[in-house]
Every structure is written in C-alpha cells, then in structure tokens.
Amino acid sequence: MLLSAAVLFILSGCSFSPKPPIAKQEPYELVKFGDTRIDPYFWMNKRDSQDVISYLNAENDYTNAVMQSTEELQAQLITEMRSRIKEDDISVPDFENGYFYYTRYEEGKEYPIHCRKKGSLEAPEEVMLNVNELAEGYTYFSATGLNVSTNNNILSYGADTVSRRQYTIYFKDLTTGKLLDTKISNTSGYAVWANDNQTVFYSVKDESLRPYQIYRHQISNSLSSSDELVYEENDETYVAYVSKSKSNAYLFFGSSSTMSDEYHFIDANKPYSKLQVIQPRERGLEYSVDHFESNFYIRTNLEAMNFRLMKAPISKPSKANWTEVIPHRIDVYLSGFEIFKDYLVLDERKEGLKQVKIIEWKGGKEHYINFGEEVYSAWIGYNPEFNTNLMRYTYTSLTTPTTVFDYNLASQEKTLLKQTEILGDFKSENYEAKRLWATAADGVKVPISLVYRKGIELNGKNPTLQYSYGSYGASTDPYFSSNKLSLLDRGFVFAIAHVRGGQELGRQWYEDGKLLKKINTFTDFTTCSDYLIEQKYTNAENLFAMGGSAGGLLMGAIANLRPDLYKGIIAQVPFVDVVTTMLDSSIPLTTGEYDEWGNPNDSTYYFYMKSYSPYDQVTAQNYPNMLITTGYHDSQVQYFEPAKWVAKLRNTKTDNNLILFKINMEAGHGGASGRFKMLEEVALEYAFMLKLVGKK
C-alpha cells in the first residue's frame, strides 16, 4: 500500500517529516545470453493501472511536501523569470510568395498567434491561427507544421492535445477563415503541398510511433480513408518523411536511419508521377538533398567523415554522377548549406564553434562572418528566396540575447532586425563568458563553455550548474537564457560540457561517443567536473549536474560512476533502463536507434549496455541529492523508466540524501506546452538547487 506525504503528515502529528513512498516489489526475471536480471519494479510498465497511478501520485505528493518550504521561493523565481519576458512580442517577418509571415504573442497569453500581411507590412493583418483559442479546454496543446498552399489560400497544420507526438492534421481556408472537413489523425503533423494547391503528402506512424508510410491526399475529398499510399518504409530502423525543395520544384520522399539515408523525388507540378530514387540506400552512406537550377545539391559523408557538398544532374542523380562542389576537410564539419542565385552559404563547425562561410558562384571569392565573441552560437535562418543578396541569420551567446540579422552577401554589411528584449535591469556587460578545455584520461581535450556574473571569486565555493546532452551527434551550443539569470544573479556559475557523443568538434567527436565508445560521454562529463573544481570555480558541495532524455542517461551514469562529485543531480525525462528498452521493439524509437546504442540482441552490445545502464548499475553506495522528472504521456522516454529507477535507488542507496520524483501527468517529453506554464518546472529545478546550497 502506498501512503501519500499528506497522509504521513497527519499520522506524524505536529512534526512534519514527509517520508518517501515505498514501491512494492514483484520480482520479474529477464534472461538474455544466459544472463539473468531481476527487475522488481517491472509492474510499473502497466500504463493506466491503478497501482501505477497511485504510485506516481504518491511521488508527486512527496515532492510537493518536501519542497513546500520553497513555495515562496518558487513563486518569486516564476515572477522573476516572467518579468524578463516581453509578453506582447512579435517575431521578425519572413517574406515568402507575396506575404510577410510572422508570429506574435499577446500579454498574458500562453500560446502564439500566427499571422501574415499581403505585400507590405503596412497591409491589414490576417490571423491565420490563434493557438490560444485552439488550446482552450486542453491541459496540453501543441500546434506544429504550419504550411500554406502555393496559391496562399489554404493552411495546413498539425495539433497534439496529449503530448504523444501523434498529430491530427487540419486544413483551414484562409479566404473564409473556416476549417475544412478533413481531419487526418496519427501523423507527424506536417503536410507538404504539391503545386496544384489540391494535393498534399503526409506521413503516418505505426504502433511504435515510427513514421513509416507516406500518403497522398486530395483536398476536395474530406475522407482521408481513401488516401493513396505512395511510399512505405518496412525496415523498422528507418523513419519516412516528406519535404519540398527550396525552389518549390520538387518533392522529396526521405527515409533515414542513424547511418543511412535514401531519397526519392517527383516533380511538384506532377503530384501523381512515379517516384524516382536519387541514390539507393547503402549502409553507412548519409546524404541530404536540395535543388538549384539543373542540379540536385547533395551534402554527404561519402568518403568524407566531416561531410562534403556534391551536385548531380536531375536526370541522373545517383552517386556515380556526383561531382564535388566543396571538398572534405579534416578540421571542419559541414553541417548544412544554403543556396542563393549568386552565392553559396555554408554552415560549418570548427574547434567547437559555429561558422558561416559565403562563397560567390562566379569567381569563387569567399569570406566568413565575424561574430566577435569567444563563446557563441550562430546559424543560417529561414531564407525562402533565391534571387536576393540578403541572408537571414541568427546569433546568440551566453551573454547576448537571441539576435536576428540580415546580412548583405555582397557588401558584408549586417542589419540588426531584432534582439530579444530582456525586461528589467539586464545588461550583457555584467556577465562574463569563457571557453575552457579539460583534458580527459586519454589525452583528448574537452571544451567547456561557461558564464557567470562578473565579480565572483574563484575560491572554490561558487554554486555551479553543469549541463550536457552528448548523444545522437546533437551539439549543445551556447545560447542565451533569460531564465538562467535567476541563478547567475544568485552567484551561480553555469557551464556546458561539450562531451563526446555530440558533434561540436566534428563527426569523429560523435563517433567517439556512441556504440562501444559510449563510456567516453560519461567520463568526459566527470573530467569537466573535476576541472571546474581544480580551477576553483566550485567544489563537490556546490556542484550540480543536469541533463535531459539521453542527457538524463548521462546523469544516471555519472551518479553511479562518480557520486562523490556532485551535491545534486537533475535528471529530466531520463533514458535510464537502457537494456530493457532497447530489447523491446514495441517501444517508440527503439529499433531506429540500434546504430546509436547498439542492438542488445548481439551479446557484445548487450553486455556493454548493461555495464553503463543506470537502472542496472544502481548499487549500495551513497548518491547525490536527486530531482528526477518525467511526463506521463512521454512517447520518447516512457514514464516507467525513471519511475523504476527512483524506486530502485530508494531501496538500494546507503545515504539520507533527497530523491524527488516529479511527474507531469498532463504532458510528455517536452513538459508543459505554455510559455509561462513551463516556468513552473524551471522554478522547481532552481529551488531544488537553491535549497541545497542554502540560497534564499
């Protein structure tokens, strides 16, 4: 039987000493390769069972009881963070096909309002989609994939009201403001228009939430049940999707796994034509494609670990006909490209930082944009027009709010369009950002980006939050967060550890942090922690670690490996039951990630995974204070992974440190959907740390 903290409070009389829930144990045997694992909490996998619901509610009650003393602090943090937000804000308009498109927010409203103006910013505003109205009556709401037909008359968009990322696609007639009768459920949320303004293509998901089929739908037919299947991906390690070229001339039907891509295409003016393959899939061959004039431009890792740029005639696009445009460079990772009529723009990475390179098609003159800071992030923005010398890009750093520029590719002049306004007394010059390098045991130097308020002493006593992700080649670039000011202004240092498994230092950085080298991700993180302590930024009594999803796996691994390093750990929606999840192909995302983690049906990968799987490696030792979060509807990391982990930690650890488990019963992987509602989750995390270091 589970007792809530409130019940325990009543039983304890006047002295409030909440006790954590004790989960029942029902030993469940899991056998593979002669190895037996006993999972006493396997019963938690039964979604919607009363026992599970009762346990999760009891955990929430306990967390609320323990954190009750910080309620005033949490309220103050929410007020602080919200007070920095310009609530009646508006994005920089993008011009496309005769209209200026933008998103704005109204004061006090949680969700965006998507608008446009025809021909001029002085024209009357057309509200395409007011998400606040759509979200009425829902505890969670997400609108995604907004896409307007070529004739500008019909808007398609996807809506999710559960947070399982199963979107229903709707169509809105922008001339009348009314929804069409068509509703297409269980999709990825994005419909791509052919140029006839009557035909759209969309992908649907299977039982494991893998996008695997692409259908063609006629707007004149309100019944999606008669839609025609045009592509099906039967390999469970691949996902299928559809997109459109920048030129609007071609539709691309993609299918991708971790290590391989395949694209088909059709003429966007002929939506019923037969799909043609660009390059058939090959194990280890990755590529992406766009169109310009008479060629497809192809970014690929063909004989190029850090990728290179190729082109091929549309009439014969296979790799036998690829010719090189930008060669492979051992010290530069080509992460993307953008094509203009007179210029080629490259999105690159070098020495852990983003770069934007501009090359003239005629003459070959080239230059880089100078960003002027030591630690920053920049990326090419949305640029739908070919025939222009202006390129939109976005810049941010740990001390500079997100800033949007138009860059003249010819004159090299920057025009500031918008910098996110931070209300209150914020001044960038009050904060300092640095890039440090920690040396791992194998001699590899791991970059650290960090920021703090000027004036702190390097006395080894500063409270510090160290963050990382470190998987899937996803780079954790330094960016500005107004919420973080609530920590920095209370004396915190914030650090990002750019560990292997990301792609900050090129493709090899990713390769050295996955599969049978995954341990590097974890030891790189602890190396960075040791370095921050050595350099007297902090100490083990003031150092906190944070990561989410695969970064939550990182948190679980370091908790087992080096619990002595941290005062507290915040593990957000953590992927911690690695072996069991990767053995269950019915769980969303599992089969498509064999090339990231390995396939545990192979004994080599099974035992390697088991050696670092946080749930399997919980042992009788002291652990740091921990705050663990999840969403009950999470489709990417199921709620029962952290639930079982919490129960096992409580039953096994040898200390009296806190383990708090917060479950959002109305959300999924991304947490709350509203821009203010999500501040409650941030405030809880900050209050947890501030409570432990005695900050008020």
Separation between Cα atoms, residue 500 and residue 521, nearest integer Å: 5
Separation between Cα atoms, residue 507 and residue 444, nearest integer Å: 15
> Exactly one of 114, 264, 291, 669 is catalytic; which is it?
669
Label each residue of 79-122 as H, E or C: HHHHHCECCCCECCCEEECCEEEEEECCCCCCCCEEEEEECCCC
328 tagged catalytic: no
| DSSP conformation letters of 371-385 | ---SSEEEEE-----
Beta-strand pair 250-257/543-548: unpaired
Separation between Cα atoms, residue 526 and residue 624, nearest integer Å: 14
> Exactly one of 61, 347, 512, 634 is catalytic; which is it?
634
3-state SS class at 504: coil
Measuring CA to CA, which residue among 139, 145, 144 is closest to residue 162? 139
**Residue at 604: amino acid letter:** T
Tokens read off for 430: 């009050």
Separation between Cα atoms, residue 162 and residue 166, nearest integer Å: 8
**Residue at 375: amino acid letter:** V
Beta-strand pair 142-148/154-160: antiparallel
Separation between Cα atoms, residue 379 and residue 345, nearest integer Å: 11
Tokens read off for 347: 């999105």
3-state SS class at 365: coil
89 tagged catalytic: no
Are 547 and 534 in contact, with CB atoms under 8 Å apart? no
Number of residues that this document lists for the chain: 696
Separation between Cα atoms, residue 627 and residue 688, nearest integer Å: 7
Separation between Cα atoms, residue 198 and residue 564, nearest integer Å: 62
Separation between Cα atoms, residue 618 and residue 561, nearest integer Å: 10
Q: Is the dihedral of CA 509, 531, 690, 662 positive or negative?
A: positive
Separation between Cα atoms, residue 570 and residue 687, nearest integer Å: 12
Are 529 and 566 in contact, with CB atoms under 8 Å apart? yes
| E-only strand ranges, 369-492 | 376-380, 390-397, 403-408, 414-419, 431-439, 445-453, 464-467
> Exactly one of 549, 613, 635, 673 is catalytic; which is it?
549
633 tagged catalytic: no
Measuring CA to CA, which residue among 206, 204, 208 is closest to residue 216? 204
Separation between Cα atoms, residue 636 and residue 589, nearest integer Å: 7
Partners of 336 in beta bridges: 347
Separation between Cα atoms, residue 520 and residue 512, nearest integer Å: 7
Catalytic residues: 549, 634, 669
